[in-house]
Amino acid sequence: MTKQLSGYLLAATLAAATMHAQQPSAAPPTQTQARAAASTSGQAPPAQQPAAGQEQTDVNSATIHLGVNEVSLIFTVTDKHGHYIANLQQSDFALLDDQKAPARVNSFHQQINLPLRVGIVIDASTSIRSRFQFEQQAATEFLLQVIKPRSDRAFVMGFDVTPTVEQPWTDNLDALQAGINRMRPGGGTALFDAVYTACRDDLLTERGPEPVRKAMVLISDGDDNQSRAYLDDAIKMCQRSETIVYAISTNWTPSRGKGDQVLTRLAEATGGQAFFPPSVEEMAASFKNIEDELRSQYALNYTPADFKTNGAFRTIYLYCNDRRYQVRAKKGYFAPRE
């Protein structure tokens, strides 16, 4: 089978809901291959077009039930300046799951407004003592702006040598604010342990028949000197719990260090973003960007090809046909076990 024919089949699979996937080469696709795979020679035939109004559906107005073998992929599209791109269609994207086109696409929505499940994880180690109060204030303002009682829930965790949940899951804004205010800085920094524990004990358990938007807002300088877990362990647990990490760096030194690289890796591997405000007073702008993104994203539900409930990690490659735009999505997920 020629590359041109394989590319046509991939594009047709993403656009149509019934076509079966074809097996690509064993190596992960390059961006050039993915772009070719997504290209079509003209407008999609009527069978490929979503139902009227499908892209504009707000999932708050419809119930979405997920099967065991279905994947709900939430992603963001921006231009090179970081501005959100709206009004894209299903046929504007190319997708590979475990190096194969999906068996079928079940739904595609834009301008979604999923219920939020947010973990606020704050570095309370000695290294950030001088700016800790600013972090508390910014985190409190974020929760007050973002969390909608009765639909959204959040928890608050602080960490130094050990992680401590200051406020378990709740939609009570007063309780969340009190949890943030209870934190006191001191001790070493076990960042990887905190991320791992937050995902394993809190975010992993937030599952249900309908999709929710699970995110961790991590406030730290990224330095770790106490963890038993490694960075890769923390990333894998984020992926198992289907949690996207938004990291806000508290390193305001002129030179960017290893801590910023750690925060970037955590964010990119989970489909999130790392923010590097130039001063503590400008942290609020980073929180505002996270708020905007949590409420302005696309959702794609699909059935993977050759899906097996074996607990294996399955990679995801999602690209926009228009190469001016960048897609931020998780790099993969762990299939459930039987």
Q: Which of 98, 107, 108, 109 is nearest to 304 (CA)?
A: 98
Which region among 15-24, 141-150, 225-234, 310-319 has the lowest average model confidence (pLDDT)? Answer: 15-24
Please state the pTM of the whole predicted model: 0.77
Banded model confidence at residue 67, pLDDT cuts 50, 70, 90: low
**Residue 278 pLDDT > 70:** yes
What pLDDT shows up at residue 227?
Answer: 96
DSSP state of 77: E
> Each residue of 125-147: pLDDT tens digit?
887 777 788 888 889 999 998 99
Banded model confidence at residue 283, pLDDT cuts 50, 70, 90: confident
> Each residue of 19-52: pLDDT tens digit?
333 333 334 444 434 433 333 223 333 333 333 3
The DSSP element (H or E) to which 273 belongs, if any, is strand 273-275
**Residue 259 pLDDT > 80:** yes
Q: In this structure, how many other beta carbons lie within 10 angstroms of the beta carbon of residue 189? A: 25
> Each residue of 314-326: pLDDT tens digit?
999 999 999 999 9
**285 with 301: CB under 8 angstroms?**
no
List alpha helices for 25-105, DSSP H: 31-38
The DSSP element (H or E) to which 106 belongs, if any, is strand 104-109
- In angstroms, the CA 157 to CA 197 distance is 10
